Amino acid sequence: MKKPDAISIIAVGVVLFVILGGMSVQFGYPGQYSAEGTVTPTGADFNIESSISTEYAVVAIDNKSEVPVSKLYIFIDSDYVPYCASASTADYQVTLFEKNLLQKGFSNYERVDSDELSDLMSTPSAVGMGIYVPFGTLPDTVYTGNPSDKFTEWTSKGGTVYWTGGVPGKYTVSEGKSAVSVSSAQVVFPFIDGINNGGLRADQPADMLCSGLSLRSSSLKYSLSPEYPGMIGMGMQNDEGRCTISSVKVGAGTFFLIAGDVSSTVYNDLSLLIASGVTYGSEVVSIKEGTVKGQVSGSLEYSETDVSVYVLYGGYFPIYGKRIIG
Amino acid sequence: MSDPTTFVKAKAFILRYPVLVIAIVGIVIRACLIPLFTYSYDIYHWAVTISNLRSGEGLYGLPGYYYTPVWGYMLAGIGNIADILGIANFGSLDPSLTFVADSEWPYYREMTYSLAFTILIKTLFTIFDLITAYLIYVLVKDHTKDTKKASAAFGLWFLCPIVIYTSSVHAMFDTIAVTALVLTLLLILRQKYALAGMVFAISVFLKFFPAYLIFILFALILRQGQTAGNRNKAALTAVSGFLLMTILIYIPQIIDGTVLDSFNFISSRVGEIGANNNGQTVDIISTIGYSLVITLQAITFPILIFLSWKIYKTPEKDEAFASKYMLFLMLSSAVIFLWTPTPTYLMIILPFLVYVSVTRNDKYIIPYILISVSAVLYSLAMHNYSLLFQLYEYSNLIPLDFLINGIGWLDMRMTFISNRTIINIILGAAETLSIYSIYLFAYKAHKRDKKAVMHT
């Protein structure tokens, strides 16, 4: 038999490299991951497992008696097109956000259209429920710019709003029409006074949540003024105290505003916020970080009682997340 | 004073093992650059792609990977190696670097990368640089039987500034596409057409530009056939190899329905024409640039077909044919870039330019120098201060103010365009002229040859 020459061997090597890589994509990924936790008298014990060598963070977050969101409703309706996106773009973006949620371990979400959103507003209690408004625009079924609109009533029932893509309350949209600007949105959303319309950038962590959850967004466009009474900022901040995540209490409920135009970074941070169970005023009380391949067990020590414990693998390149307590 | 016998011994060693010495020098240069300087943008996407794979989203489930799947498969392999080596940390965000997000230049990242991850990625590119150097060595040696010329060609590739920069600093995978292209040529010359077709598919689905050379590669396949039957069989075998590899590459995308996603980079680039209406000069220039690239295709393809036809019909045989073929291949690879390419793209020209410089006409060393130097300068201008982020992160050598002021100066507008745009235009033009210098030298050589023929 003729001996193969070096060129053929290299060629076969390159071909095999590609084929094996393709097979690896198909059969070698994703890794196997799991995480469990139990409450102890001094805090929590955790047991985490990963088949792939990766970094991890186990973060204990004090929720200050607030109830973390366990069910999320995402408003999207192709007949009510937001001011900053087409119907198809909106659908694509929401799909990306949903994938981010799943990656971070939060699967209890569903899309709602304008009618379903309106029905949702009629529930007697909204505690533990969250609504995500992705593109800074609400349908006229729940919001027209009046203080008596359904949407404003809902937060007073203890619901949590997550808002991205613009100034809260500035746009409303009717079925089949273009979104229109609301002239005095601050009547309904007083906290938007002093909102930043762009040009500022966060350059330092606002709290331990930032590094604990590997939050990445730095845009301060649409960030709330730190002067607003009761405004609590999270994520990254600038010298002024403006933060990438602004939160205010609205009645019994909470309004989270994630700064910046919608992007992968914003979706990453928001999905982490929701999946980890962050609430108004949340603070990190304990954190353990390291690398895992196989199994790692450990404990977190804290004295607070309303605590969520969240596990994140991959750090700034996240691959898996799970809320193991809370 | 150093012992003169040591010097003599060293000289003798270099003369005896020039390729080994060149390889060691090239590796040492790369080893120095790899941990110190990294362009922060592309490597970010390699890390994101591996993490997306690890989270079960495949190559195209979440944003981050914008190429055809071949490089993604290689990244999957790199991810596996990272796992075996216990590389858990890929990189992190440095909040003090977030100012780059406000720059006119959208290709900065406020990230720095772990040394282990950086070294892993760039080591792969270095290996491919070395393989390509070896392939060029074989190509020259096969045709000339001259080890000195082959060694020179090895060195001109492996020590070429833009080749070193692309693998050790930019961390871009163009070198792998070039490896596959040169490998394709060697396999065709060895009449291993099925394997040639397969490797060509890898080259094309890595960087697409090798696809422009399909006409001239076919000319070679057809020239090598003695009879019409042979020629048809050879062509069919090569095409079958290409199709087989294409199917193998795309099976995962066919299964999960993401074939179109893998061509996003074309639509996104073409989509940028007229889409960037932010009024930024850089956007306007890129819009004009993309339109120009599309327009120039009307000239590029006819020239490529003409060159392929001419070489197919040329009466020269054996060594004379091989020499002329390589000249035409070099010209074809240069014709792809009648526009100003991203510097890494033009690496596709270099193996053939090196070949022609070493074997046919050493005057081509001038375009070689012009291209490699202008391409590095253009890259440095585009990547500028972001190359120092690693040093800033891991040492106290670079003050933050230096980075902020530097990028601020580049963004500064004296008139209606920024300093950055002025520098990029100048260096981009220099790069384009350096590519055009190949045509000038080819024209001069052609005139000289014609004169010589007339005299005889």
State the complex-level ipTM: 0.94
Whether B180 and A317 lie within 8 Å, measured CB to CB:
no
Q: What whole-number percentage of chain B has pLDDT above 90?
A: 82
Judging contacts by C-beta atoms under 8 Å, the chain B residues touching residue A316 are 90-93, 111
Tokens at B26, concatenated: 């090239």
Question: Does residue A203 fall inside a structural domain?
Answer: yes
Q: What whole-number percentage of chain A has pLDDT above 90?
A: 87
Cβ-in-10-Å burial (0-12, 13-18, 19+) of A151 comes to: buried
Question: Does residue A15 fall inside a structural domain?
Answer: no
Judging contacts by C-beta atoms under 8 Å, the chain A residues touching residue B247 are none
A57 and A101 fall within a common domain: no
Phi/psi-derived region of residue B68, left when phi > 0, alpha when psi is between -120 and 50, beta in every other case: beta
Question: d(Cα B41, Cα B386) in Å, to the nearest integer?
Answer: 9
B312-335 pLDDT per residue, tens? 999 999 999 999 999 999 999 999
Whether A10 and B61 lie within 8 Å, measured CB to CB:
no
Question: Does residue A4 fall inside a structural domain?
Answer: no
Q: b/e map of A298-314 (b: 16 or more CB within 10 Å)?
A: eebebeeebbbbbbbbb
Look at chain A and report how many structural domains it folds into.
2
A207 and A58 fall within a common domain: no
A267 and A292 fall within a common domain: no
Calculate how close chain A gets to B397, using CA atoms only, in Å.
21
DSSP for B148-209?
A: HHHHHHHHHHHT-HHHHHIIIII--THHHHHHHHHHHHHHHHTT-HHHHHHHHHHHHHHHSG
Angle B56-B57-B60 from CA coordinates, rounded to 5°: 150
CA torsion, ordered B45, B49, B54, B58, to nearest 10 deg:
160
A85 and A180 fall within a common domain: yes
Tokens at B419, concatenated: 């300093």
Q: Taking a C-beta distance cutoff of 8 angstroms, is the pair A168, A189 a contact?
A: yes
| CA distances (Å), origin B148, targets B15, B17, B140, B359 | 9, 10, 10, 11
Sheet containing A137-139, strands listed edge to edge, beginning at the edge strand earlier in sequence: A137-139, A171-173, A180-181
Number of residue pairs across A and B with CB atoms under 8 Å?
Answer: 169
Question: Does residue B337 fall inside a structural domain?
Answer: yes
Look at chain B and report how many structural domains it folds into.
1
Phi, psi dihedrals of residue B248, rounded to the nearest 5°: -60, -40
Question: d(Cα B50, Cα B40) in Å, to the nearest integer?
Answer: 16
CATH number of domain containing A90:
3.40.50
Q: Which residue of B has its CA nearest to A216?
A: B93
Q: Which domain holds residue B152?
A: 36-385+420-455
Establish if B47 touches chain A: CB-CB under 8 angstroms.
yes
A109 and A192 fall within a common domain: yes
A150 and A185 fall within a common domain: yes
Question: Does residue B390 fall inside a structural domain?
Answer: no
Question: Does residue A241 fall inside a structural domain?
Answer: yes
Question: Does residue A72 fall inside a structural domain?
Answer: yes
Inter-helix orientation angle B18-36/B115-144, to 10°: 160
| CA distances (Å), origin A209, targets A39, A58, B75 | 21, 11, 31
A51 and A72 fall within a common domain: no
For range B118-145, the mean pLDDT: 97
Angle B296-B297-B301 from CA coordinates, rounded to 5°: 125
B395-422 pLDDT per residue, tens? 989 999 999 999 999 999 988 899 999 9
Question: Does residue B25 fall inside a structural domain?
Answer: no
A16-69 pLDDT per residue, tens? 999 999 999 988 888 899 999 999 999 999 999 999 999 999 999 999 889 999
Calculate how close chain A gets to B109, using CA atoms only, in Å.
11
Question: Does residue A32 fall inside a structural domain?
Answer: no
A104 and A74 fall within a common domain: yes
Question: d(Cα A178, Cα B2) in Å, to the nearest integer?
Answer: 83
B438, pLDDT greater than 90? yes
A195 and A314 fall within a common domain: no
B276-297 pLDDT per residue, tens? 444 566 666 667 778 888 889 9
Question: Does residue A8 fall inside a structural domain?
Answer: no
Q: Taking a C-beta distance cutoff of 8 angstroms, is the pair A298, A288 a contact?
A: yes
A304 and A158 fall within a common domain: no
Question: d(Cα B291, Cα A316) in Å, to the nearest integer?
Answer: 37
Phi, psi dihedrals of residue A46, rounded to the nearest 5°: -135, 155
Q: Which domain holds residue A318?
A: 38-64+283-326
Question: Does residue B18 fall inside a structural domain?
Answer: no
